Structure 1
Amino acid sequence: MVWVLAPVVLGVLHASGGVSFQFLERLEHLLYDVRLRATLPHTPDGRIVIVDIDEASLQRVGQWPWGRDKMAAFANELFERQGVAVLGFDVVFAEADTSSGLARLNALAQGPLKSQPGFAQALERLAPTLDYDARFAGALDTQNAVLGYYFTSDRDGQGRGALPSPALTLRQMGGSLLNATVWNGFGSNLAVLAQAAPAAGFFNTMSDEDGVVRSLPLLAEYQGAYYESLALAVYRSFLGGANVVPAFATEPVPGERNLLRGVELHASGGRKFLPVDEQLATLVPYRGPGGPSGGSFRYLSAADVLQGRLPAGSLRGKIVLMGSTAPGLQDLRATPVGRAYPGVEVHANVLSGFLSGKAIYRPDYATAFDVLQIAVAGVLLALVLPLLSAARALLLAAAVLVALAGLNAQLYLVHGLALPLASALAVVVVATALDMAHGYLTESRTKRNLAHLFGTYVPPELVDQMLLAPERYTMQAASRELTVMFCDMRGFTAMSERMEPVQLQALLNDIFSRLTQAIRAHLGTIDKYMGDCVMAFWGAPVPTQQHAALAVQAALDMVAAVQSLNARHSATGLPEIGIGIGLNTGPMCVGDMGSDIRRSYTVIGDAVNLGSRLEGLCKVYGVDIVASEVTRQQASGFVWQELDRVRVKGKEDAVAIFYPLGRLGEVAPAQMHRLAQWNEALASLRAQDWAACDRHADTLRRADPGSALYAWYAERVAMLRVLPYQPDWDGATRFDTK
């Protein structure tokens, strides 16, 4: 029971803030994103329209910012001709517009042209039309326009432009502070514009630790006052300038920071409640993928609006937000539904949630809820899991996981509550895993002791199989068709004479590790290590019909591993090594053999001896691998090169030997061409056609001068051609040594 309660305690500490586990934070974000994407409505909200400063607008109108004369025409088009309800700007107008040249004309009127008759009077008449900022302010004056601005937090706390009036002040709240994000600087609009359009909201977003925007602050603190976001300001304007009233979670304490349940908007049409989290933020209720093709909101090119291409009244009664999707204007955000999501659409989603009364928020009791669900689930598991079998314990854990996830989804879908889930799920999984591990350690001790006993002399593959179904296996010797491998290192003796024992030990261990990995990767069983030789076999203890093919692929991988090792040795000055591998397939006796003192699971038999002989032929033919004909026949997925027919010591029958060039379809065309030439050369040798042999030998050696195999062929031809013609000769080479 104690081992199950340990993750419960850690989970409660994490949920309550006593400790922090970053992986749980990341998991929480992941679960929220999955839940959000799974419940996206994917329906358009026709009440909100986004006027997009897109790439097409920048090409047609010019680079941003546009002249305020154009912005005045833009505002007039929307308010007077289209009749929009509210116009919100997700941009800031912080710099004065001097593009008309009015400032230069004023300087001329005060300077060089001061005495010019009529100049000052003409300038006075033209000035109203050339003051673009004033024209834009005039277009906004008395209209339902909401400007945008931003807060900053830096060392100097600089402020530029004119801030709007705060939504809440300490005086309004009786000296009570709010637990809001605090800023010390801002970038806002020109005073003339702020006076014409007093409603304004900040467009700062909130990014989580992973840089993803999941929430938007509704209120932010600057110099003891609380300012509203762009979405809240637009919504208030849409409601006719509703008053903001804080809804405290508990009785507020003056001079201390207090939590809010939400924000109430008191308007003539009634009250609206907007829930917030402990940072006065609301989760963004994304409707779907962002951008003009996302389908959540209607996008209009700003150039089309400016140039009056829309039918009059087509936007009547709509809430219009002006923003940008142009990458160069840098208003794209990473969100759960898109990595380059338009910032203006983030505000549109929040505003859509306000209009629909469907907010997603993390309530102030979220921490208590998380602690409670962890405790309940944890205690349940601690009491019940030790009483159940492994299968029933897993079923219980699955049921608890489903119950937690189902409750969380129900509260999210019905009530808009984004409650934590990751810690509770992690506690269930870890507690179940610990219970299973404890059960394994205690209830399986006898079985594991037996496995340990066998493991002292049986390969791990057989131990694993015995633990799964011990009745299927016996240690008694049996005859099976298997594939055996002998792998010997070349040049090891000379190397050992040049290296220190410790250095030689490290090198040998490295080589054996690489070779063993290749064998085990292809289901081979390591029989033994004999000095600088490795013996392995395939097909036992785990039966497989592919034992020959697995052995051949393992041999090719071992050659590649040694080549890779030699490349590293060459760079570090260590000596290079070579290997020779012999493969044979046939009936062998396999089982537990040895004495009372030491036993091993091994193979013996004539087929095993032949495999050892074939390994010794590698250096004769200058190849890394020599395989028997039976192995070649059973490993048909490879391209094979016949080397020779041989009579080895202890066998009177000739045996064809082969070298695997690679898998079918993976051998280069040039190599296949040489293989065809070699087959012709081998046929000429067996036909005792020495003139043809000379031609083939010359062709092959020109194609690959360094080939030891082609050199052997030439020497063999030279030796045999002096002998008389032998009509009954089978072309085999006799080897009388092991």
Structure 2
Amino acid sequence: MTRAQQIGVILGLAIVAVLSVLRASDPPLLSIVRDLTFDQYQRLAPRAFEKLPVLVIDIDEASLREFGQWPWPRNRIAELVDRLSEMGASAIAFDVLFAEPDRLSPRNAVRDVTGIDPLVLDQLPDNDEILARSISQKPVVLGFGLSNQGQYLPPVKAGFAFTGESPLGAPPSIKAATPLLPQLEANAAGIGHISLNPGASSAVVRAVPLFLSDGKQFYPSLALEALRVAQGASTYVLAGAPDALNTMTFTKIGDFVVPVTASGELWLYVSRDTPERYISASKVLAAGGASAEVRAAIEGSIVFVGTSAAGLQDVRTTALGENVPGVSVHAQIVEQILSGHFLSRPDWANGVEILSIVVLGSFLVILTTFVTPAVALACGLLITLFALAASWAAFLYAGLLFDPLAPIVAGSITHFAATAFRFLVTDRERRDVRRAFGHYLSPSLLYRIEHTRNALRLGGDDRELTVMFVDVRNFTEISEQITPTEVVTFLNTLLDALSHHVIANEGTLDKFIGDSIMAFWNAPVDVADHAGKAVHSALAMRETLARLNANDAFHFGSERKVGIGIGIHTGLACVGNMGAETRFNYSAVGDAVNIAARIESSCKEVGFDILISESTAKLLPDHALLDAGTLSLKGKKTRTKLFAVVGDQKVARSAEFVAMHLLHQRLVDALKTRSATGRKLVRSAKLMAAGLTAGLPEFYRRISRRSDHFRDEEAVESRISAE
């Protein structure tokens, strides 16, 4: 790992830590986004509406048209209670506040009229007393609201039993309530609060408190009281956490167990609003009595009395985005409990989400540092899809609410931050490598050198290289006959075509020296079969030059052909960045380089375009090679054995080359011994060579003049000494 990568990992992990702390603090924006995500889940898969014994007796527009504006006189409410009770309702819950005396009551209507005898006044009907007598001994549950004034708290009609630690401090706090009329309060079978989302910043009702607490007493919700009264239960069982105060886990009402949040709230899993949930109050109060259909629906049902009439402003927004009467939400709470379809966001969900940010963020930091950006992005997208799929599956199959966006957003921030750092800092060295080597190395070698530490350090290493020199024949004569601009065009066309084969065969272009090319293999990184790739590059150059000549690519006319000489040698050389700290070139120096250059010059004497040294030939036993003799290279004390490259492995296996090779060996033996058969063998070789490669006949035309090149070096040296 480079220092830049180490810094990148440290900074990336620091970002992960900051994001984890930010998620742990749960700022409002994250909470809003999380709630919207859970809303979307419900919209995609809402709770299916089931025909359960829960109804809303709706004081709707039709009821107001028939019986007058709201509020109705309490004697009509009493009649509604009597009708519902007679039809067999198991509980009658009012999402209506009875906080003040009925102003439409006859007694109250004339109370302020002067001259009324108090005895007569007392004999006038009181609608509140009528309603109190009506609800007495009936399963009626009255509602109360929260108040910021006074000290009134309603009586609690049920008992409470606890398991675990006390959860008294868990529910939302209640300081005061809207007062109920004493006679109604005394005769009600149950009293529950009607607050759906007290203190919530959002108008959407997502979780409702099933209990309120003043620190001494629990106050159940209207829906829970209706369910309790319908079952004839007298006690709530509240479960606190076994090892934590002021924490709730579930509540039991009669036969039903309801999971709750730590503060005693129920996550609403709503169904779509449907007319099947409602019965108009006008149908219950119909003059001729309710229809058999209405009676059948009400019998045994928990009914909630409330209003959907416009202008009464009892409208709430659900997670499905629907605006529904508040009384409908109370009914849906009981529906949800009866159906057993619950949503739950476990207390440990926050911990899991924070841990996922740490784990996935750290993974992305390491991934982005050590793999390509494309691979890191693909992995990031897979992680995103996995988080979404896991969260959705948890909701769909287990009713669990896990936030997928927190780890996704944190992971995205981490990924792009790490990617930006890598681009600006970590990959800078690699971009420098590309600028330095982009025109001289193949893409595969570039990738390998990019991932090699200290690739551009000043200095060199001793390595076995295969070095190639390419030179244009008769360049001086060519340049004398054309303009300088045409010389540049000619060189660009030729050198571009030839150098392409160096790159294609994983070689390194060292430099262009006028009309020459210097290249080498096995640096800056190891290249397998470097000698073979150098020779294949040379053979490809031979074919390319023949095509360029045939197509008159240099515009010299069909009579003038361009020729090249190629010398190749394998040996030890020093390769690396050479020059100054601020400006240097990647190059190779040493005896191996000099020998390759001298071999290229020997092509003129030998009369063949591709010559290689014996050290290179030993690495290519399966290629089509012919012994070119042992030559004295300029500046070398000892002679060097060379080989002419006729072709690759395919040519070496051909019948023509096999025959040529046998004939060549006989010719070499004749030249060594100065046999009289040498001339005859040369003629035969020239005829046979014409079918193999274009330059080979010239090789044999010159071979008899180079007979000394095929004699043993010791014998030649002895002859020279004797002379």
SS at structure 1 position matched to 2:146: strand
Q: Look up the match of 2:221.
A: 229
The amino acid that maps onto 2:394 is L
The aligned amino acid for 1:75 is V
TM-score, L = length of structure 2: 0.54
CA drift at 1:425: 1.6
Work out which of the residue numbers 48, 53, 59 in structure 1 matches 2:54.
48
Q: Which of 3, 8, 13 lines up with 2:21 in the alignment?
A: 13
Q: Which residue of the other structure, out of 299, 317, 321, is the alignment partner of 1:334? A: 317
Find out whether 1:165 has 2:170 as its counterpart: no
Q: 2:269 aligns with which of 257, 278, 285?
A: 285
Q: In structure 1, what residue type is equivalent to 2:138?
A: Q
Question: Residue 42 of structure 2 aligns to which amino acid in structure 1?
Answer: L
Out of 243, 250, 255, the residue aligned to residue 235 of structure 2 is: 243
Distance 1:46 1:23, change over 3 A: same
Q: Is the 8 A contact 1:250 1:259 kept in 2?
A: no
**What are the superposed Cα offsets for residues 38-75 of structure 1, whole Å, 9 maximum, x if unpaired?**
11134343422111122222222112110111001111
Match of 2:101 in 1: 96
RMSD: 3.2
**What are the within-5 Å matches in structure 2 for residues 174-573 of structure 1?**
177-206=168-197, 208-222=200-214, 224-251=216-243, 257-265=245-253, 267=254, 270=255, 272-288=256-272, 290=273, 294=274, 297-307=276-286, 308-311=289-292, 312-338=295-321, 340-442=323-425, 445=428
Aligned pairs (5 A) from 1:67-146: 67-80=73-86, 82-103=87-108, 113=117, 127=124, 130-146=125-141
Question: Take 2:302 and 2:47, find their aligned partners in 1: how far apart are those partners?
Answer: 20
Q: Distance in 1 between matches of 2:62 and 2:156?
A: 36
Structure 1 residues 188, 104: CA separation in 2 closer, same or farther (over 3 Å shift)? closer
**8 Å CA contact retained: 2:97, 2:143:** yes
**One-letter amino acid of the counterpart of residue 5, structure 1:** L
Contact kept? 1:148, 1:202, Cα under 8 Å = yes
> 1:307-344 deviations in whole A, cap 9, x for unaligned?
23432444211121111222321111233223532211
Residue 78 of structure 1: how far off its partner (Å): 0.9
Aligned counterpart for 1:39 among listed residues 36, 41, 45: 45
Q: Secondary structure at the match of 1:406?
A: helix
What one-letter code is carried by the residue in structure 2 that aligns with 1:85? Answer: S
CA contact (8 A) 1:246 1:264 kept: yes
Q: Distance in 2 between matches of 1:442 and 1:106?
A: 88
Q: How does 1:645-724 map to 2 (within 5 A)?
A: none
Query: How far did 1:168 drift?
Result: 6.3
**Paired AA for residue 281 in structure 2:** A
Q: Is 1:61 the equivalent of 2:67?
A: yes
User: What letter corresponds to residue 379 of structure 1 in structure 2?
Assistant: S
Contact 2:74 2:105 in 1 (8 A): no
Taking a change above 3 Å as real, the CA distance of residues 83 and 176 of structure 1, as seen in their structure-2 partners, is closer
Matched-pair contact (CA < 8 Å) for 1:83–1:313: no
**1:105 and 1:29 mapped to 2: Cα distance?**
53
Q: 1:346 to 1:376 in 2, by over 3 A?
A: same
- Preserved CA contact (<8 Å) 2:91 2:140: yes
Does the CA-based 8 Å contact 2:269-2:342 persist in structure 1? yes
Change (3 A) 1:175 1:450: closer
TM-score, length-normalised on structure 1?
0.53
C-alpha deviation, 1:220, in angstroms: 0.7
Going from structure 1 to structure 2, the CA distance change for 1:177 and 1:72 (only over 3 Å counts) comes to closer
Q: How far does residue 217 in structure 1 lie from its aligned partner after superposition?
A: 0.2
Q: Which has the larger radius of gyration?
A: 2
Structure 2 residue identity aligned to 1:12: S
Q: Residue 167 and residue 395 in structure 1: after superposition, are their counterparts in 2 closer, same or farther (change >3 A)? A: farther
Contact 1:45 1:352 in 2 (8 A): no
Alpha-carbon separation, structure 1, partners of 2:157 and 2:216: 10
Whether the aligned pair in 1 keeps the contact of 2:162 and 2:240 (CA below 8 Å) is no
Counterpart Cα distance in 2 of 1:159 and 1:63 = 32
- For 2:40 and 2:116, locate their aligned partners in 1 and report how far apart those are by CA, in whole Å: 69
Question: Relative to 1, partners in 2 of residues 1:361 and 1:387: Cα closer, same or farther, differing over 3 Å?
Answer: same
Give the letter for the 1:13 counterpart: V
Match of 2:34 in 1: 28
CA offset at residue 202 of structure 1? 0.5
Distance 1:428 1:223, change over 3 A: closer
Change (3 A) 1:198 1:222: farther
Contact 1:149 1:189 in 2 (8 A): yes
What one-letter code is carried by the residue in structure 2 that aligns with 1:158? G
Judging changes above 3 Å, is the alpha-carbon distance between structure 1 residues 45 and 429 closer, same or farther for their aligned structure 2 residues? farther
Given that residues 95 and 327 in structure 2 are in contact (C-alpha distance below 8 angstroms), is that contact kept between their aligned partners in structure 1? yes
Structure 2 CA distance for partners of 1:176 and 1:86, relative to 1, 3 Å: closer
- Residue 398 of structure 1 and its aligned partner are, at CA, apart by 1.6
Q: What SS does structure 2 have at the residue aligned with 1:186?
A: coil
Deviations 1:150-185 (A, max 9, x none): 113x3xx3256x713165679999976322211212
Q: Map Cα deviations across residues 186-229 of structure 1 (whole Å, 9 max, x no partner).
A: 11421111211130110111264333221100111136211001
Separation in 1 of the partners of 2:431 and 2:371? 21
| SS of residue in 2 equivalent to 1:277 | coil
* Letter aligned with residue 41 of structure 1: R
Say if 1:383 and 1:175 are closer, same or farther in 2 by CA, change over 3 A: closer
Deviation digits for residues 570-623 of structure 1, max 9, x if unmatched? xxxxxxxxxxxxxxxxxxxxxxxxxxxxxxxxxxxxxxxxxxxxxxxxxxxxxx
Taking the aligned partners of 2:370 and 2:266, their CA distance within structure 1 comes to: 44
Aligned AA for 2:302?
A: I
Alignment of 1:542-621 (within 5 A): none
Give the whole-Å Cα distance in 1 for the aligned partners of 2:185 and 2:71: 18
Once the two structures are aligned, what percentage of the paired residues are identical? 27
User: Counterparts of 2:78 and 2:167 in 1: how far apart (Å)?
Assistant: 41
**Matched residue of 1:278: which SS?**
coil
In 2, distance between residues paired with 1:381 and 1:208?
Answer: 36
Matched position secondary structure for 1:327: coil
Query: Residue 447 of structure 1: CA displacement?
Result: 9.3
Q: Distance in 2 between matches of 1:413 and 1:92?
A: 38
Secondary structure of the residue aligned to 1:273 is: strand
> What does residue 149 of structure 1 align with?
144
